Amino acid sequence: WLFLLLGFVTFSHQTFAQMPVGQWRTHLPYSSATCLEVTSEAVWCGTEHGLFIYNFDDQSVQVRSRIDGMNDQNILSMRYSEEYGTMVIGYASGRIDLYRGGQYRLIDDIFRSNQIIGLKNINHIHLRGRFAYLSSSFGIVELDLEREEIRNTFVVGPGGSKLPVYGLTDDGNKFYAATDSGLLMASLSEPNLSNFNAWQFEPSLRGKALKHVAYFAGSVATLLGDSLMRFNNSNWTAIRLDTGFANTGLEARNGELQITNVFRVHSLSNDWQQRTFTFSNENIVRPVMAIRSGSNLWMADNGGGLLRFFEGFGQQILPEGPYSDNALQLSAQNAGLLVATGGVKTTLEPLYNSDGCLVFAQEKWSRLSRYNIPGLPDSLKSGDYPLVDVMQAIYDPFQSNRMYLATWGAGLIELVNGRFQMAYNPKNSSLQYIPG
């Protein structure tokens, strides 16, 4: 049911006068943010469907996609090298884009490799001089930024197994890699890091699933459940942040350590003294990571997109686009475009997709769902047959402010000016259930 590129020829001069007839454009959801990077000029936000950039000078938002030269769309990681003026972009496919001087340079060795079976995610990027170290689903990749080529691949799992790596850092003497099996260490002076024997588990965290690691103010830090783990002088210290709330992000940037969890950011200064930034915004869904830059705190949220927090005030920054990438059926009339997002299983059971109906009108996207339709009865919000799985949506051809949503289970929903009017079902109309 995914649509990764929704393009359509202009079908109504009245509604879509800005689009020349016969031309195409992308309509992508940008709310599923996966990562961000802050430079001196802008904030780059990577999402499942592309990239957008918030410029500091004019506060404009620029959307980047394959149409603009990018070589993929599902971004998992980004890091900017000041030294080489290069933004390193890692994709779920294993592809890598090096953005430099307005051009994208594709590195697709991992994507094309037949020796790598399974996932090829570029989970994290660690910069060290001329090299970018890419934590991937099969190990670590050493990328030469100067020569723009892959130099080495480190398969670090026991016995040479392709152990997924989720994060990497170094303290000037050793590399530290976060894995599902614990924290792996290797000496920077090791002549052959491709040899799995060069990588050894730190004993205290052996067997622990670790997704993050960072070096900050003389200590290695990682996250374990609701605690920040600090490794200093061969000893671990646990700093419990918010009891019972798992931490989701760890970034050492701009002289601070940022720890993100589901409802706040903890910021530690160089003396490891904790400062807490509590935030509240209706657009927060699943915080992924945060970077503090100057007086602003920037957050990537998987569901809320890019959020900026300044002196307690939260602002969502998103390009214009549909809420969801689900699309089952399209209906276009003068009033606008309606996108039904639902579906059913092969057994005719509902998917319980609550994305609802996506509306594109007057160059703006909106959403009609059980969460935001005015006047919707409680029984359709969370009852036995809630408003889910919109299978088709159409405007009334004789009254453009009236529309109908055909749902799988909740009946036929009538809306006027976006407000609920009636739900037609077998109890109050000629509609019938499917036999059996």
- Ordered DSSP codes for 264-278: EEEEE-TT--EEEEE
Q: Are 324 and 341 in contact (CB under 8 A)?
A: yes
pLDDT recorded at residue 4: 35
Instruction: Mention every residue, 6+ apart, whose C-beta is less than 8 A from residue 82.
Output: none
pLDDT band at 196 (very low <50, low <70, confident <90, very high): very high
Helix (H, G, I), strand (E, B) or coil at 198: helix
Distances (CA, A) of 359 to 27, 293, 408: 12, 36, 19
- Confidence band of 111 (pLDDT split at 50, 70, 90): very high
CA distances from 45 to 82, 116, 128 (A): 18, 28, 22
Q: What is the pLDDT of residue 3?
A: 39
Query: 97: which strand partners?
Result: 89, 106
Task: Find the helix or strand (DSSP H, E) in which 111 lies.
Answer: helix 109-112
CA–CA gap between residue 209 and residue 225 (Å, rounded)? 9
pLDDT over 90 (residue 231): yes
Q: Is the pLDDT of residue 10 over 50?
A: no
pLDDT value at residue 13:
36
Structure tokens that stand for 258 in this block: 């940022």
Would you state the pLDDT for residue 42?
97
Positive or negative, the CA dihedral 265, 269, 272, 275 is: negative
Q: What pLDDT, on the 0 to 100 scale, is given for residue 267?
A: 92
| Tens digits of residue pLDDT in 375-427 | 999 999 998 889 999 999 999 999 999 999 999 989 999 999 999 999 999 99
Tell me which amino acid residue 235 is: N
Please give the pLDDT value at position 130. 96
Mean pLDDT computed over 325-333: 94
Instruction: Tell me the three state secondary structure of residue 160.
Output: helix
The number of beta carbons lying within 10 Å of the beta carbon of residue 370 is 19
The pLDDT value given to residue 434: 80
Give the predicted TM-score (pTM) of the model: 0.87
The pLDDT of 79-92, averaged and rounded, is: 97
Sign of the alpha-carbon torsion through 115, 48, 250, 268: positive
- Residue 11 has what pLDDT? 37
Ranking 6-10, 57-61, 156-160 by mean pLDDT, the lowest is 6-10
| pLDDT bracket for residue 436 (50, 70, 90) | low
pLDDT at 15: 39
pLDDT of residue 58 exceeding 90: yes
Mean pLDDT to the nearest integer, 292-317? 92
Mean local confidence (pLDDT), 238-267: 91
Whether residue 281 is predicted with pLDDT greater than 90 in this model: the reply is no
Sequential DSSP letters for 18-50:
TSPTT---------BEEEEEE-SSEEEEEETTE
* Strands lying side by side in the sheet with 219-224: 213-216, 219-224, 227-232, 235-240
Q: Which of 2-6, 80-84, 251-255 has the highest mean pLDDT?
A: 80-84
Cα–Cα distance measured from residue 38 to residue 60, given in angstroms and rounded to the nearest whole number: 15
pLDDT of 18 = 61
For residue 96, give Cα distances in angstroms to 44, 70, 73, 79, 108: 16, 10, 11, 12, 6
Residue 212's contacts (CB-CB under 8 Å, 6 or more residues apart) are 166, 167, 178, 222, 223, 247, 249, 250
Do residues 280 and 287 touch, judged by C-beta distance below 8 A?
Answer: no
Q: Which amino acid is residue 183, in one-letter code?
A: L
